[in-house]
Chain A
Amino acid sequence: MPSMSEAAVRVDNLGKYYRIGTSRQAGQLLLREVLSNLGRAPFRRIAAGTRHLRARFGGQHASSAGEPNHIWALRNVSFEVARGQIVGIIGPNGAGKSTLLKILSRITDPTEGRAELRGRVGSLLEVGTGFHPELTGRENSYLSGALLGMRKTEIDRKLDEILAFAEIEKFADTPVKYYSSGMYVRLAFAVAAHLEPEILIVDEVLAVGDVNFQRKCLNKMEDVRQHGRTILFVSHNMAAVTRLCQRAILISHGVIQKDGPAAEVASAYLSSSLRTSAERSWPSPESAPGNEVVRLQEVRVRDEAGKTVEHIDIRCRVGLEMTYEVLTPGHQISVHMSLSNESGVCLFGTGDLDLRWRDPRPPGRFTSTVWIPGNFLAEGAIVVSAAASSHQPFRRHFTAQDVVAFHVTDPLEGGSARGDWDGEFPGLVRPLLPWTTTFGNEISPAPPP
């Protein structure tokens, strides 16, 4: 990797202030409004007019931040990106991610702060920048390439490669309005992929296209990184972010909430968006789930070393631990947990079957842990619910819905059910199962258990 001494991207206290309109888009006025303002008292008009102009054209916002129809889309954003780093930018919709990319792409101005980019910048904020339906694939390659920052000679040289990458050589001279959406997207990305910028700014572009082509694009991006290029990558796809990026920045309400290793930030985002973290405890018994028999104290997600973890390697065992206090003696108590994914689909339920605890329990503090094997859960967020009940007679003591959450990630180092596949992987769970393949009439022996 080239010298890391100088940051490729340096963002310092960046802020963007927007005036948000009611029925119209921000900042757009009808001339009538201005003219009717002009018609009023001339002195007030001058004062108001200059204030208006200053607010509108001067960059410096004249009105105070307290005004209701003004918002800071981005505020006090500072970070540095070393050369060759791939940084994922994540956060909820309207958090300011796109505003940040637009500022860094020079499409819109910041209201305050400063950013420095060292090297040729290429930004892909949409699929097919500048594409015109009437133009052919070849013509659009030139137009889009030029708009994205390529020289004509450069496009001349790479055109065949671009058309081949997009797999549309046969349709190079067909207007793109006749293309299928897949062809369109492939061509658009092929042009962008041949941009060879030193700093690449990408907004969710990978969310499109078929799986094979996505894989091709991911490989191309990996290629880009190996050439020491720097990538800023906005995405909602946490799996893609953790797979592609070493580092992620979580933006919410226009400010940076977290900046660190991608897996950590991704799980922080997921748990914040799920409003749960990997650990939850109830310091006061009054607020804790439970009744006079048993009360929940703490639930957490732990690794084998006993540490609370927000994210877990798909290959490793993860422990779900619940701590509860039995308050009244003489009750037989069984504890359960259930796991759901991000979409709220229940994956499975599980309960402690240990016969030792089938007898009435003495009062005191208990800790029960269920161990979920490695290579079983699928990548993504897992939400855990905990419950305790008694049988004979049946009585539910508490059900704590969605108390903790954690994130399963696949570092793509092998040893998982993915093998060497790095694209989308289907399924609610992802067990690593033994396979046998035989040739001809050979009967395969069952694999060892």
Chain B
Amino acid sequence: MADRVGKDVIVSGASLSGPASVAVSPTMLTVIEPARGWAPLKLAELWGYREVLYFLVWRDITIRYRQTIIGMTWAVIQPFMTMVVFSVFFGRLARMPSDGIPYPVFAFAALVPWTFFASGLTLSANSLVHSGHLITKVYFPRLLVPMARVLTGLPDLALSLLFLVGMIWWYGLLQARPALWWLPAFALLAFVTALGVGLWLSALNVQYRDIQHVVPFLVQVWLFATPVAYPASLLSGPWRTIYGLNPMVGVVDGFRWALLGSGSAPSLNVAVSAVAAVLIFLSGAFFFRRIERTFADVV
């Protein structure tokens, strides 16, 4: 446990300015040793590489929209079309209850965080396999790869949120909601969950390429296990709490509560979701760190 690969006594990239820094800085020592067992997360190193994370996110966002004609509009079209389909089939045909809110707004409020989560999860699950050219050629904390992929969804999330606010106004539901301040917390919950699952899947995907076929199926099942098309109020009592083990339940409920005032304030359910998300994330991060040493040999 004590033995670590590439333990930087001083986090790499310590202050460097101008050619003067070329003069030997005896402080920086990199020790390379075989790693055994569970590895620490090395958050300090991660922080030292924050600019790499920034550039990876920036690269993905730039490239994603450079080749498209309608660019960022895609961020809205995807959840919008899903919303239309849901509204027709669940709202109109199945007459799904929607907590007294017009079904399109009800569905879209859930689809905004859901799309962020689902695309973040899918992208990060395949991130390492698609970054083989980097992983085999240059060192940086590998955690940044799936992390960057999830963060890449942030502009889309912001844009679709904006669209959602427009929809709320269109339906005449716009009003001052103090609970709005909770929104970033729910977005963070979605991020942590997507990253946590993404860490598990991306690391496993390097070892077992079958994972990439599992991901779409997983996302689909997860969608129906989350109250996107239907209200969480369909479940009651202790089932609600167990249901909350799916962190996206807390996220979707939270979004609807903060934006539309439906349901109740964060309670035990959301706490369960938060704890579940943190557990998924931590286990994913430790698992990832444990097997990341084999990535370059296998990918």
Interfacial residues, chain A to chain B (CB-CB below 8 A): 2-3, 6, 18, 25-32, 34, 56-60, 83, 102-121, 123, 125-126, 129-130, 132, 134-135, 139, 142-143, 146-149, 151-154, 157, 196, 198, 227-229
Contact = CB atoms under 8 A, between A and B. Distances in A.
B32 to A, nearest CB: 4
A120 B137 contact: no
Nearest to B211: A31
B291 interface: yes
- Which of A57, A102, A114, A135 is packed against the most chain B CB atoms within 10 Å? A57
B233 interface: no
Contacts of B290: 57
B208 A149 contact: no
Nearest to B140: A147
Contact of B297 (A18, A121, A143): A18
24 contacts: A57-B290, A59-B35, A105-B138, A106-B32, A107-B296, A109-B35, A111-B34, A113-B33, A117-B30, A119-B24, A119-B26, A121-B12, A129-B134, A132-B63, A134-B63, A134-B67, A135-B63, A143-B55, A146-B54, A146-B55, A149-B13, A151-B13, A198-B22, A198-B25
Given A30-B210, A117-B32, A139-B59, 20 more contacts: A2-B23, A29-B207, A30-B208, A30-B209, A56-B207, A58-B36, A107-B136, A107-B138, A110-B32, A116-B32, A118-B26, A118-B28, A118-B29, A119-B24, A119-B26, A121-B30, A129-B138, A132-B63, A135-B59, A196-B19
A198 B30 CA distance: 12
Nearest to A108: B296
A106 B134 contact: no
A106 B30 contact: yes
Contacts of B67: 134
A119 B137 contact: no
Nearest to B29: A118
B5 interface: yes
B59 A120 contact: no
Contacts of A130: 134, 138
Interface string B13-56: 10011110111111011111111110000000000000110110
B135 A120 contact: no
A135 B62 contact: yes
Contacts of A3: 24
Of residues A60, A113, A120, which shows the largest number of chain B Cβ atoms within 10 Å of its Cβ?
A120
A326 B153 CA distance: 86
B298 interface: yes
Contacts of B54: 146, 152
A149 B297 contact: no
B5 A106 contact: yes
Contact of A147 (B29, B35, B134, B294): B134
B298 A28 contact: yes
B33 A114 contact: yes
Closest 9 CB pairs of A and B: A31-B210, A106-B139, A115-B32, A31-B208, A106-B6, A109-B293, A27-B298, A117-B30, A108-B296
B66 interface: yes
Interface string B197-209: 0000000000111
A120 B37 contact: no
Nearest to B22: A227
B138 A57 contact: no
Contacts of B29: 116-118
A30 B6 CA distance: 30
**Contact residues on B (Cβ < 8 Å of other chain), bracket:** 35 or more
Contacts of B52: 146-147
Chain A interface mostly = loop
B136 to A, nearest CB: 6
Contacts of B210: 30-32
A147 B211 CA distance: 28
Contacts of A6: 26
B55 A147 contact: yes
Contact of B208 (A18, A29, A104, A123): A29
A196 B21 contact: yes
A58 B291 CA distance: 8
A110 B211 contact: no
Contact of B32 (A59, A103, A129, A227): A103
A127 B63 CA distance: 21
Contact of B55 (A56, A106, A142): A142
Contacts of A57: 290-291, 293-294
A120 B8 CA distance: 10
A153 B17 CA distance: 9
A68 B291 CA distance: 24
Nearest to B37: A58
Contact of A149 (B6, B12, B26, B294): B12
A336 to B, nearest CB: 51
Contacts of B33: 110, 113-115
Nearest to B33: A114
Most chain A C-beta atoms within 10 Å of own C-beta, residue among B13, B24, B28, B210? B24
A107 B16 contact: no
Contacts of A118: 24, 26, 28-30
A118 B211 CA distance: 40
A280 B42 CA distance: 57
Contacts of A107: 135-139, 296
Given A83-B24, A147-B52, A132 B59 contact: yes
Given A146-B52, A198-B24, A34 B36 contact: no
B224 to A, nearest CB: 24
Contacts of A83: 24
A53 B5 CA distance: 19
A228 B22 contact: yes
A149 B55 CA distance: 12
B298 A120 contact: no
Contacts of A116: 29-32
Interface string B119-150: 00000000000000011111110000000000
Contacts of B59: 132, 135, 139, 143
